Amino acid sequence: MNQNIILKIAENNQEVEDAFRVREIVLTDELGFDIASLTDEIDEVAKNVICYALENSSDGVQTRKPIGTLRYFVHGESIKVGRVAVLKDCRGQQIGKKMMLYVEDNVWNEAEYAKIKQIALSSIHEKMGFYEKLGYVSIGEAYLEEEVPHIYMTKKRPQL
């Protein structure tokens, strides 16, 4: 199913709630993480990317269905990406890739991030191939987060 989507930074309470709901469905309900869907102090400073699928109802009204999310925030001279989640029935449509490229475009091209040297993330070990295809490189050894092997990955700022 190829669908029209909107990628945006969550700007109001409804969009933030939509992002948290996708996070809860994927990370807590599906993958079993205890804390991944909960809000924390990082959510107060992070930007949440929300991906909506545009759907047309029978009466011609267009609605937005939240299907993916991630958050990112400044961490020293890095941007840290986390809580990447795409609804199960929407996987295989490059939603995750589009969200990551959206973040990269914002970070590499916005003046507020001019001093950022890299984008970093903690990938579930079995998902690291997804990030490698986007140019991320693993750093160090695998470690456990909530009993699941993860690996730290980074992507350096492109040189002009």
Burial of 34 (0-12, 13-18, 19+ CB in 10 A): exposed
Mean pLDDT of all residues in the chain?
93
8 Å CB contact between 10 and 48: yes
Max CA-CA distance within the chain?
54
Give pLDDT, residue 37: 60
pLDDT at 18: 97
Which residue bears the tokens 């973040």?
103
pLDDT of residue 1: 45
Question: Which stretches of the chain drop beneath a pLDDT of 50?
Answer: 1
For residue 57, the model assigns a pLDDT of 81
Tokens of 49: 């990317």
Task: Name the token pair of 107.
Answer: 């970070």
CATH number, domain 5-156, options 3.30.70.2190, 3.40.30.10, 3.20.20.10, 3.40.630.30: 3.40.630.30
pLDDT digits (tens, 9 = 90+) for 19-30: 999 999 999 899
Q: Rounded to an integer, what distance in angstroms lies between the CA atom of residue 68 and that of residue 9?
A: 12
**What confidence score (pLDDT) does residue 160 get?**
60
